[in-house]
Amino acid sequence: MQAIILAGGLGSLLKPFTEVVPKPLLPLGEKSILEIQIERLRDHGVTQIFLAVNYKADYIESFLGNGERYGVELIYSRESKALGTCGPLSLIRDQITGPFVMMNGDILTKLDFSRFYQFGCDKDFALTVGTKIITTPFRFGDVKSSEDQLLSVTEKPELNFEIMAAFIL
């Protein structure tokens, strides 16, 4: 099984930390986010991982190496310029041998990649998207009105958003 981790972003929201260390290599305890992702993918049967890198690509490659210490093969796809979210796929399309898992290099998930992958393959979908519901509390009451009449008030509602978490192509 193959996977692609998109790890080329600038990590602008975490500056000044990301001026020194790329966002996917920021530590969480004793390991970086990327190391945790690599080990989770490996534990679910992924043997080959493409890392789409741009910002601080040399740093990432020298830190992670060829993947031997993680029990996987790491292949680096370097963008000469930022290609956007799915642009890096164009650089490695000839090396992809079948369905693959794709994820961003700055997320942590407890997703069962094996089940997710098998689900996408069994359904024979062109694209399977893993999503998650994020609930955000809202500090104010939500008021519904019509002209000069108050219709309802929901005190401090929670807002729910369904977000993308992983892909199988």
Residues marked active site are found at 156
Cβ–Cβ < 8 Å for 169, 100: yes
Q: Which two tokens stand for residue 59?
A: 């740093």
Question: How far apart are alpha carbons 71 and 9 in whole angstroms?
Answer: 25
The two three-digit tokens of residue 115, written as one number: 């089940």
From CA 117, how far away is CA 166, in angstroms rounded?
10
Query: What is the total residue count of the chain?
Result: 169
Cβ atoms of 39 and 70 closer than 8 Å: yes
Strands 158-168 and 27-28 come out as unpaired
Q: Are 65 and 73 in contact (CB under 8 A)?
A: no
